[in-house]
Amino acid sequence: MRIGAHVDATNPLDEAALRKADAVQFFLADPQGWKAPQPRADAAQLRGSEVDVYIHAPYVINLATTNNRIRIPSRKLLLSHAGAAAEVGAKGLIVHGGHVNAGDDIATGFDNWRKAFAQVAASGGHGVPVFVENTAGGDNACARRFDNLARLWDAVGEYGVGFCLDTCHAHAGGEDLLDIVDRVKAITGRIDLIHANGSKDAFDSGRDRHDNLANGTIDPDLVVEVVRTAGAPVIVETPGGVDGQATDIAYLRDRVGR
């Protein structure tokens, strides 16, 4: 069981060592911005490291939207992050499920997802596994509720897309963590990464505020059970810096076993 943390991008391997992490996830550019990633001086080190590397794509990316001025740059930005993620030997590039605007037909959103992957597949692929992550909020999200996730997978499944299950997002998004691994796998056939997070907010609140595993509103035994049954690597995206995350990693290792 590989367990790691989302860390600052400056010295990710040092951050991994401080947390005794087997894996790290970080951003390659400002998560709220549209800038393409810059080449990293530590790319060869990251590629050769025993520590598994995952890259989180910027939050601004929305492959579903009907707004051309967001959707087209989103495709370009995802592709540039995919190239940079491949440079650092990433095992996956995580991107949120996106949404359409109020009043739009969400079927268009799923079709926009399909087109995004079809276009890249036709020109050689992303060059790194892309994992779609479930999200917590919004009424028009493609990957908050699993009825929509199933429709999204009908659109993109054939392109070999991976899935990242975030426990905070599922809980806050209104999907019960009990038996969630089976329910996800019935839809996607796979779970490639777990984001093991507590939640500061209530079930189905639609709010995305992560908490440490022993705190918050999620029974930590449910998160442990998700990690145990998913059989996928784990990243904690929890607060509290080195201490908070090292505690969460140790908590999972103690209870899940290695």
Q: Which residues bind Zn ion (CB under 5 A)?
A: 166, 195, 237
Closest contact distance (angstroms) between CB of 136 and Zn ion is 9
97 or 109: whose CB is closer to Zn ion? 97
225 or 237: whose CB is closer to Zn ion? 237
> Rounded to whole angstroms, how far apart are CA atoms 176 and 167?
9
114 or 197: whose CB is closer to Zn ion? 197
Beta strands in 20-155 (DSSP E): 23-27, 52-56, 92-96, 130-133
Closest contact distance (angstroms) between CB of 237 and Zn ion is 5
132 DSSP β-pair partners: 95, 163
> Rounded to whole angstroms, how far apart are CA atoms 142 and 25?
23
What contacts 103, CB < 8 A, 6 or more positions away? none
5 or 16: whose CB is closer to Zn ion? 5
Residue nearest Zn ion by beta-carbon distance: 195
> Rounded to whole angstroms, how far apart are CA atoms 237 and 234?
10
Nearest to 89 by CA among 62, 129, 33, 37: 129
Closest contact distance (angstroms) between CB of 196 and Zn ion is 9
Closest contact distance (angstroms) between CB of 143 and Zn ion is 11
> Rounded to whole angstroms, how far apart are CA atoms 248 and 144?
25
52 or 237: whose CB is closer to Zn ion? 237
Closest contact distance (angstroms) between CB of 197 and Zn ion is 7
